[in-house]
Amino acid sequence: MAEEILEDVDFEEEDTEEGNPVDDGGIPELSDEELDAVADTAIAILQDILKYFNVGEVTIDEYEGDEGELILDITGDDLAVLIGRHGKTLDALQFLVSAVTVRKMGFRYPVVVDVEGYKSRQRQKLESIARSAANRAAGQNRSIKLRPMTPYERRIIHITLRDDDRVETASEGEGSARHVVIIPQ
């Protein structure tokens, strides 16, 4: 199934941060049936891809994230291969599942693929980094540049600080060097 779809997918990475700060209100309103269809499609695609990894029996739990996204959390034995070094394999897996889901559904709905809560732990670390950098930016009254991040990581930084009146955030740079700058108000 996924192989036929993958032939038609354009694998250019999309950066959803067209304007700065990020407008994160782009999640479409779906009925329960439509959301179930997205989840079923994404899970089927993920299961199809996982056949190519030697990970044995896995469980895929689905739930809604804090920002309305669909989270698919994979649990099982010996899943480190799915995470990869610094989460690179997991990022690629999420990209594939998202791209194929969009192609099959005909519209974009945010799908996050996680392995045993890895991204949840990473998100907590990123939120802590964001708050700490905002405190430094506001306290020192100077802009703080964060390390280059993936679009998903940058989005977490933007979302974490969107209600902090002391700072604003912007993404700068190109490609793998793209990073968030936290600017004091």
Residue 49, token pair as written in the block: 């891809």
Which class in CATH covers the domain with range 26-116? alpha beta
Q: Residue 66 — pLDDT band, cuts 50, 70, 90?
A: confident
pTM of this prediction? 0.73
State the Cα–Cα distance between residues 115 and 75, nearest whole angstrom. Answer: 6
The alpha carbon of residue 122 and the mean position of all alpha carbons in its chain are separated, in whole angstroms, by 11
Q: Using the predicted structure, report yes or no on whether residue 31 has a pLDDT greater than 60.
A: yes
* pLDDT for residue 74 is more than 50: yes
Domain topology for 121-184: Ribosomal Protein S8; Chain: A, domain 1 (3.30.1370)
Higher pLDDT, 20 or 93: 93
The one-character DSSP state at 27 is P
Between 31 and 137, residue with greater pLDDT:
137
Measuring CA to CA, which residue among 113, 114, 120, 107 is closest to residue 27?
Answer: 107
**Position 26 confidence tier, pLDDT thresholds 50, 70, 90:** low
Contact assessment for residue 176 and residue 136, using Cβ atoms and an 8 Å cutoff? no
Beta-strand ranges (E) seen in 77-178 are 111-115, 144-148, 167-172
AA identity, residue 138: A
Question: What confidence score (pLDDT) does residue 163 get?
Answer: 95
Mean pLDDT of the chain: 86
Give just the sign of the alpha carbon dihedral 139, 144, 146, 152: positive
The predicted-structure confidence for 38-58, as pLDDT tens digits, reads as follows 999 999 999 999 999 989 899
129-167 per-position pLDDT tens digit: 999 999 999 999 999 999 999 888 999 999 999 999 999
Count Cβ atoms within 10 A of the Cβ of residue 39 and give its class: 0-12 exposed, 13-18 middle, 19 or more buried.
buried
pLDDT of residue 180: 98
Report in angstroms the alpha-carbon separations of 162 from 20, 91, 100, 137, 152: 11, 24, 30, 15, 15
Mean pLDDT of the region 172-180: 95
Residue 162: phi and psi, rounded to 5, are -65, -30
Q: Would you kindly state where each structural domain of the chain is located, as residue ranges? A: 26-116, 121-184
2: pLDDT confidence band, cut at 50, 70 and 90?
very low
Tell me what pLDDT residue 20 has: 34
- Residue 4's pLDDT is what? 46
Q: In the predicted model, is pLDDT for residue 14 greater than 50? A: no
DSSP for residue 141: T
